Structure 1
Amino acid sequence: MFDSKYPLAISLAAAAFAHHARAADTPECAQYEPLLTRAELSFKNVPVCARINPGLWGLRKELAAHGIGFTATSYNGYTYDVLGNNAKKQVYNGQNPSYNTSLNLYLTYDLTRIGFANDAQLTLAGNWVDSTYTPANPRVKTVSVFAINQSFFNHQLEFEYGFIPGVRLFYGMALGGSASTAALGPSSVVPFQVGMSATEPTPTVNVIVRDPSLRFYNSTAVTRSVSPEGIQKDIDLNPSGLSFKVKDARAMFINEAGYKQASSASTHAMWLRAGAMYNTSHYTEFKSGEQSDNNYGVYLAETVQVTKPYNDARGWYLDSKIDYSPDSVNAINKAFQVSAFNVGPFASRPADMAAVGLTKSYYSRDLRDATTRYGLEAAPYTLAVTTSYAARLFPGVYLISGLTYTKNPVFSPIHSDALLLQESLNFLF
């Protein structure tokens, strides 16, 4: 399922656990951390020491000797509306029992071994996703990342270039709060409406500038928009993920400025950011049917650690976001989300995470007007409240259970409320 709160929940909880476990000594598996991908700037890696068999039966040591890193993850999910809103024609994820599975493989290579400057690293990743309800979770067999990350001046200047989804570089997907994606899929997220790539990579050049403390930053990317006809159309036109051009998809510019610091014994984790997106692609306007000159969007977001009971990454966090885009061409044009999550909620469970959140996404007024002109009813918004718990069963094995109440799970016709039970069993190698 494309609800990235799952891997993010695991990443934060596993990172906290690995830090807790390394407090007394530094295990051999920690030496492989530099070979984890650095391409996905807005995501936190799951530490090698928190994965299934960190040495991979000797394979990781053998690969590391040649400058190669390897990781694999498998997410396997189930969603069902326990209110019994089953229908012959399914119109939202979980209305009928819905299953999804994904396999993600990552290879990294230390490019300094062949003459690249500084800490240059190549990431090559592949992604296979299957689902019984594809509008919310598109089927994908694609290269997901093919990019080089390289930094200069003690990481004050960083470059990322190649093929990579925009969501891996910007925004920071929600933890426990973007529950509307459970029913509506990635298309319900405003930056994806505007054209930011989500499931398929797009050719991208990203430049990040940081101050000497490495906390303040400005990140600017020139990339290609996804197809103005939507994520599924983009997948159909670019199944490999490596096409420079896609019909009607033009240049897109993204800028994000922010402040980011990690949790330590003396500091709370904090990530504040503001972003703007400008898409030169032409979109069909809902009212006139004419082509727009462009598309754009803006967002504000913050993720802040508010308690620190163990002087590390564990504790309560607050995560919130506000998004806006024009309602003339974007079906969901504004949204806000607020959530709270606890990393290591119990002293005896340092690798678990609990979360609760609310998301409200507003449907375009222009689209609603166009819909009602045909005598159809249309929902003004979709609202979701979710609670979830990520439990570490064994090293590298997580069970994530969630319950999401969704009002207006369908845009048109207006549908009764849904209560979605979500279970996901995840394996990290």
Structure 2
Amino acid sequence: MFPHALRYAAPVLSGCLLVVLLAMCGDARADYEPTTDADTQSDATTDNSDIARCHRYDSLQPRGTTSPLVSTCETVSPEWGGLREDLADSGWLIEGGGSVGFSYDLFQHDEHPQRYIGQDPSYRTNPFVAITYDLSRIGFPDATQLVFNVDFQAFSYAGENPTGLSFNSFYINQHFNDGRVQLQYGYDELSNQFYGFSLGTSATASTAGISSSIPFEVGLINNKTAPEANLRLALPDHFYERFGVTRSVDPEGVQADWDSNNFLGLKWHIPGAKALYINELGYQTDAAPGQRMAWLRQGVIYNESHYPDFQNGGYAGSNYAYYLVGDYQLIQTDPTRSFRGLYINAKADYSPPDRNVYASDIGITPYVLGPFGRPDDVLSLSYTFNRLSKSFQCMEQARGISAVDYSSTYALAYVYRWRRGIYLTQQLSYTVNPIPAPKRSPALTWMSSLSVYY
């Protein structure tokens, strides 16, 4: 089985990564070809030569992720006083950022202990550093990249996520056949590679992005990294096929996974956490003059780990989920900046109700990139309906705990570009049945966050 194969392969992969790191400490130089991105905007105070240089660095940004970082032209200091150019000349790119957020239920449902985000005033922060290196400079095939990402996360409400330092990514990404084949292996969160949790892959829209508990409920890692490998094949007519395998999150939950994986997220094996497989078939086109952005994808997640069986007691032999997600650009509002316009996102997810609290959901989110003549802002309005497990509801009621059979949320969000590299997000959401059990009154939650990229 896959976990045993991982255990034997661990020393080999770890040794290879160590060799790569040692090699990177030497002096490696090669020619570098700049690239440009016409849709990325910079402050008017930045001259054309600065724009040309900062676009050049974007080709070194992490590959493969569905939620890319903002362009280096859109960071607080694109050049770092010339240091960024010196690093790029040697094949390196270093970027970073972080956010500080606050949430509170305006209906003032303070409760001790707290049962959901914002029920009491809730704070969070997650600074990160992302580093890439062009491995072709030390003998690897062209278009081979090492990606390294470390972050620190802190939450005042422990039920949201554990607090601590961890690796988010430590992998090699390789392209073959002119980029039509992409292979990635190492440590990463597969949620960065599949599904797409940012609206339309827009980095600035990530804080107003789509949400679903189901992919994470069935085992996708979302707070620490895990060993993984995934392969993406570009098919004719903008279709693609992507398959990945990783270690599941601990079936006992996020906190249990964090406690077991206490070596900065780089543990190879965790008791009870077995192999998780994911397959995605999609269709994707980028926004361009005369061409609207479209990204349609459907996927299957299968987890070999054993999960509690709400209906029959004991444990189910595995877990699984299906998802269908789509983004489509309805209107292009600026012929010179084709990414601007009105979009719609729709999603549907399913997981078996005998072993998952959230059994299915549907959601729809109209959103605008560049509203009110502001090309880097984002406006979104969303509705999500969650169907909760009847088996879980009956189990809780047998224990004398009130439980609900659905949850629904309306949310309005605006991402405001304060200045280059600094974004302020405000969101107001109204949720009926904010937690599965015990039953609680509706919540009107205000969420505010400040994001900085450097």
Asked if TM exceeds 0.5, the reply is yes
| 1:390 aligned partner | 415
| 2:377 aligned partner | 352
> Per-residue displacement from partner, 1:394-416 (whole Å, max 9, x unpaired)?
10000101101011112212101
Q: Does 1:189 pair with 2:213?
A: yes
Q: Does 1:109 pair with 2:137?
A: no
Unaligned stretches of 5+ residues in structure 2: 1-36, 201-206
Q: Does 1:218 pair with 2:248?
A: no
The runs of 4+ residues in structure 1 deviating greater than 4 Å are 14-17, 19-22
Return the TM-score normalized by structure 1. 0.90
- Counterpart pick for 2:433 among 401, 408, 419: 408
> Aligned-pair distance for 1:62?
1.8
Unaligned stretches of 5+ residues in structure 1: 1-13, 177-181
> Per-residue displacement from partner, 1:319-351 (whole Å, max 9, x unpaired)?
11100010111111211111011000022x111
Q: Secondary structure of the equivalent of 1:34?
A: helix
Q: Does 1:87 pair with 2:111?
A: yes
| 1:43 aligned partner | 67
> Aligned-pair distance for 1:287?
2.5
Whole-Å separation in 1 of the counterparts to 2:38 and 2:185 = 27
| 1:237 aligned partner | 260
Q: Highest Rg: 1 or 2?
A: 2
> Aligned-pair distance for 1:20?
11
- Counterpart pick for 2:448 among 396, 408, 423: 423
| 1:170 aligned partner | 194
Q: What are the residue-to-residue correspondences of 1:126-275 with 2, within 5 Å?
A: 126-173=150-197, 175=199, 189-212=213-236, 215-239=238-262, 240-275=264-299
- Counterpart pick for 2:121 among 97, 103, 107: 97
Whole-Å separation in 1 of the counterparts to 2:41 and 2:242 = 29
8 Å CA contact 2:300–2:323 kept in 1: the answer is yes
> Aligned-pair distance for 1:44?
2.9
> Per-residue displacement from partner, 1:273-307 (whole Å, max 9, x unpaired)?
00001111111111322121111110001011111
Whole-Å separation in 2 of the counterparts to 1:131 and 1:80 = 14
| 1:300 aligned partner | 324
Whole-Å separation in 2 of the counterparts to 1:194 and 1:107 = 30
Whole-Å separation in 2 of the counterparts to 1:202 and 1:137 = 17
Q: Secondary structure of the equivalent of 1:155?
A: coil
Please tell me the residue identity of whatever aligns with 1:288: N
8 Å CA contact 2:42–2:74 kept in 1: the answer is no
- Counterpart pick for 2:364 among 334, 338, 347: 338
Whole-Å separation in 2 of the counterparts to 1:77 and 1:133 = 12
- Relative distance call for 1:171 and 1:35 in structure 2 (3 A) is same
| 1:329 aligned partner | 355
Higher relative contact order (CA 8 A, sep 6+): 1
Whole-Å separation in 1 of the counterparts to 2:367 and 2:389 = 30
- Relative distance call for 1:408 and 1:90 in structure 2 (3 A) is same
Please tell me the residue identity of whatever aligns with 1:315: G
Pairwise CA RMSD of aligned residues?
2.1
> Aligned-pair distance for 1:57?
2.2
> Per-residue displacement from partner, 1:4-33 (whole Å, max 9, x unpaired)?
xxxxxxxxxx995529989x8853211111
